Amino acid sequence: MKKFFGEFKAFISRGNVIDMAIGVIIGAAFGAITSSLVTNIITPFIAWIFNTPNTDALNLTVREATAESEAIVIGFGTFLGTVINFLVIAFVLFCIIKAVNKADELAKKALKLQKEEEAAAAEAKPTTEELLTAILEEIKTQKQ
């Protein structure tokens, strides 16, 4: 049993598990933000465009509620809100991924440039033989 908890501790303290947990928490918070954006800003705007009190008015009631049964409603407005919520999340994720890819591309270019500069600097250095020859010539000119 002690070995089991030791393995669990090793598993849970690995970096990628912690990164994943942070991602889930941030994702949940981001979901709340986009839901609020859709519910409180975009949906009322759509209701205003269609001249309805809210998007629930866009729902289609197939059968009214009676004492024996509930109403049957096709939720076009509710579905529209869910689709808009998805599109907002997808757009933001697209922008984030595009920014990360651009940053990765710039980092790779900078690393390649740095390696090229290092290679050029290494090529520009004189060889040991060239240095020794220059030293000998300097010594000869000083003796004269």
- pLDDT values of the chain reduced to their tens digit, one per residue, 144 residues: 888 888 888 777 776 777 788 888 988 888 888 888 888 888 888 888 888 877 777 788 888 888 888 989 898 888 888 888 888 888 888 888 899 899 999 999 999 999 988 887 777 777 788 888 988 888 888 877
CA dihedral 11, 12, 14, 17 (to 10 degrees): 110
CATH for 24: 1.10.1200.120
Q: Which domain holds residue 82?
A: 2-143
Q: Cβ neighbours of residue 142 under 8 Å, at least 6 residues apart?
A: none
DSSP H or E run through 126: none
Residue 86 in tokens: 């998805």
Which candidate, 34, 71, 69, places its Cα nearest to that of 56?
Answer: 71
Residue type, 134: A
Cβ atoms of 97 and 47 closer than 8 Å: no
pTM over cut 0.75 = no
Please give the tally of structural domains in the chain.
Answer: 1
Cβ atoms of 58 and 80 closer than 8 Å: yes
Q: Using CB atoms within 10 A of its CB, is residue 37 exposed (0-12), middle (13-18) or buried (19+)?
A: middle
Cβ atoms of 68 and 61 closer than 8 Å: no
